[in-house]
Amino acid sequence: MARYGISKKLNVGYDEAVEKAREALAKEGFGILTEIDVKATLKKKLDKDFRRYIILGACNPPFAYKALTVETEIGLLMPCNVIVYENDDGTATVSAIDPVVAMGMIDNSALALIAKEVREKMEKVINEI
């Protein structure tokens, strides 16, 4: 696990892992605002091959609103990124940004409390998958 993320290796393939990630995010109140197909982007822009890898920009509107009301510029660190990528053995890994770490660079105790709540939700998302 990365120091800045919450991660889990799954015993399922990439497509199933992406679907499970979407379902778990929705269950915890996160919508997906952005999707970046890293493999397709690298192929198109650089003509480079890369493993299947997607970045899901997840947002939980009530928490986003709370965060924005206590720290206007927090939008620079939003949405919460969740990644799913294919491992060499055909399984997949899912990881989410740890909002406590991401928001830790900002000296705002109210924001730190919100980040802890969001981390709990992200941990549920990863554990659900």
β-sheet bridge partners, residue 12? none
Encode pLDDT of 30-66 as tens digits: 999 999 999 999 999 999 999 999 999 999 999 999 9
CATH of 5-128, one of 3.60.15.10, 3.40.50.10580, 3.30.450.20, 3.30.310.70: 3.30.310.70
**What would you report as the CA-atom Rg of the chain, rounded to the nearest whole angstrom?**
15
What mean pLDDT is predicted for residues 1-19? 92
**Which pLDDT value is given to residue 3?**
85
Is the pLDDT at 1 greater than 80? The verdict is no
* C-alpha–C-alpha distance, residues 90 and 28, integer Å: 27
